[in-house]
């Protein structure tokens, strides 16, 4: 998934289509130890070459195996991502006019005369790792894990507990007023 700029410049004004299967499991596991396994990644897309720069558009498909957030059981998750990247040489970047700083920040300035899409693919996979992963059984179960002196509680349970506690707690500044109503009842 690497192209020399001299090779790509032969296709100026057109695009280079690609359909490849790559294996990035070793480098992804090194960068993110929580990844148990990742199947070979199917990459389908194109690189468009023009005077302004190099535009890469691709879709990736793979199956990622990561531990469950609750039980640490391995969970296989299909991952389908759409990736768009814009690359420019330093000379092309410096020649940009009428482009806002926000738009300029999205452009990747090439340090070498080489475009390596595997770096972008790795970065997108790592950025799209889910924070919460559950097995099918854990998704179906409403019971959260617990042990002898601990238990997992949901945010909703905490809110209900806080609201109940707040309703039963009397502000010490107003405690005398609660005695006022007790005298009238007798």
Other CB atoms within 10 A of residue 41 CB: 24
- For residues 95 and 89, give the distance between their C-alpha atoms in angstroms, rounded to a whole number: 10
- For residues 10 and 54, give the distance between their C-alpha atoms in angstroms, rounded to a whole number: 12
Let me know if residue 56 belongs to a domain.
yes
Instruction: Report the predicted TM-score, pTM, of the whole model to 2 decimal places.
Output: 0.73
* pLDDT 10s digits, 97-123: 877 878 778 888 899 889 999 999 999
66 forms beta bridges with 75
Let me know if residue 148 belongs to a domain.
no
CA 113 to chain centre: 29
Let me know if residue 178 belongs to a domain.
no
Q: Structurally, how many domains does the chain consist of?
A: 1
Let me know if residue 185 belongs to a domain.
no
* pLDDT 10s digits, 153-172: 778 878 888 777 776 777 77
DSSP code for 18 = E
């Amino acid at each position: 998934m690497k192209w020399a700029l001299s090779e790509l410049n032969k296709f100026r004004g057109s695009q280079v289509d690609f359909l490849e299967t790559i294996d990035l499991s070793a480098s992804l596991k090194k960068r993110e130890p929580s990844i148990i396994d990742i199947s070979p990644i199917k990459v389908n897309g194109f690189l468009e070459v023009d005077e302004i720069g190099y535009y890469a558009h691709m879709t990736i498909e793979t199956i990622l195996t990561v531990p469950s957030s609750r039980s640490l059981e391995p969970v296989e998750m299909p991952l389908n991502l759409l990736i768009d990247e814009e690359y420019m040489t330093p000379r092309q970047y410096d020649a940009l006019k009428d482009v806002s700083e926000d738009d300029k920040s999205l452009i990747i300035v090439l340090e070498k005369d080489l475009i390596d899409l595997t770096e972008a693919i790795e970065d997108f996979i790592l950025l799209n790792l889910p924070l919460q992963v559950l097995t099918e059984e854990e998704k179906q179960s409403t019971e959260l894990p617990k042990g002898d002196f601990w238990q997992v509680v949901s945010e909703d349970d905490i809110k209900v507990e806080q609201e109940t506690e707040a309703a039963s707690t009397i502000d010490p500044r107003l405690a005398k007023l609660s005695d006022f109503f007790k005298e009238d009842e007798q």
